[in-house]
Chain A
Amino acid sequence: MRSDMLSRAFDITLLLLLVACAISVIRMKDLLAATIVFSTYSLIMCLIWQHRGAPDVALTEAAVGAGVTTVLFLVAIGRTTRVEK
């Protein structure tokens, strides 16, 4: 019962952080900062998948979402402009 409560609290904390990250990504004008927060979003999502018992999806999220997507965004920012107009 105790661990059940802890698990639920963990879930709720992660989900709140996820929503906070998602909203701040949309509102940020600095695209570099937005990219970093977006990779944090993927990392939190990865923890949620793992906690939900889906390690395969968690691995994909960590490698693709937090890793490669972030790099591609960074390259795209390097080729364009850093601040959203």
Chain B
Amino acid sequence: MKRASVAALLVLIAIPLLAAMAELPPHGSSETPAYTHVSERYLQRGAQEAGAENIVTDVILNYRGFDTNGEVTVIFTSVVAVAAILLLRDEERTSQERSSTPVSPVLLFIVRTMAPFIALFGMYVILFGHLSPGGGFQGGTILGALVIVSTVVLGPDVAHRMVPAPARPWLQAAAPLTFVTVGLAGLAVTGHYLGFPSGDEWGWVGTLMLVVIEIGIGVGGGTIMASIFWMMEEER
């Protein structure tokens, strides 16, 4: 009885979904709103108007900067939520007491050799986000993954030194803080929140503002990834 009602419900949901799918334009058609509406403008004038060669960065940080501003705030809220849940009993930290399993020398060698290259790649992805695929969030995640790997292989003490404890709350909030700061700078310069100067003479200022936001998102995103991992590790 229960199975039958579940199946009936699924079919009931599937019918309108399939009907909606039938209304979609054919796959690969150039007549769809996605191709005829705003993307033409993005592709033709994005690089001059928005200040970045990478059109995706133009859309994310400039044309739809308000969305991204909200998103980085959401990511920051996630780390606050995790901290609120996991760090309720903050009195005694027990991470030192836990017995650590010995790490294989092969793993240790690989991590020690690769770490500088991973760090360099992460920074490259952040700093070249306006020119090539990638950006603050992707690069920040790579750096955060590096810190996580260091925690697992080299031990928490080495990894904790990478992100100094007094600066940690500020670094976690780096993404929304830089976003709002640059947005207010844009307000002062162009008269619009998140306004980026464009054109031949002042275009470089707009590009610089994009790069600053990318760095902020990268630092914030990476710290948040590592922090969530640390909080889950230390919780018991």
CA distance A59 to B136 in the complex (A): 11
Within 8 A of A (CB), among B124-154: 125, 133-135, 137-138, 141-142, 144-145, 148
Q: Mark A48-65, 1 if CB is under 8 A from B, else 0.
A: 000000011011100110
- Which applies to chain B's interface (DSSP): helix, strand, loop or mixed? helix
B142 touches A63 (CB 8 A): yes
Within 8 A of A (CB), among B219-236: 225, 228-229, 232-233, 235-236
Q: Does B56 sit at the interface, judged by CB under 8 A?
A: yes
Chain B residues with a Cβ under 8 A of chain A: 54, 56, 125, 133-135, 137-138, 141-142, 144-145, 148, 225, 228-229, 232-233, 235-236
B141 touches A68 (CB 8 A): yes
A72 touches B125 (CB 8 A): no
Known: A56-B135, A56-B138. Is A68-B144 also a contact (CB below 8 A)?
A: yes
- Which applies to chain A's interface (DSSP): helix, strand, loop or mixed? helix
* Contact size range, A: 10 to 19
Report the minimal beta-carbon distance from B235 to chain A, rounded to whole angstroms. 7
CA distance A59 to B57 in the complex (A): 13
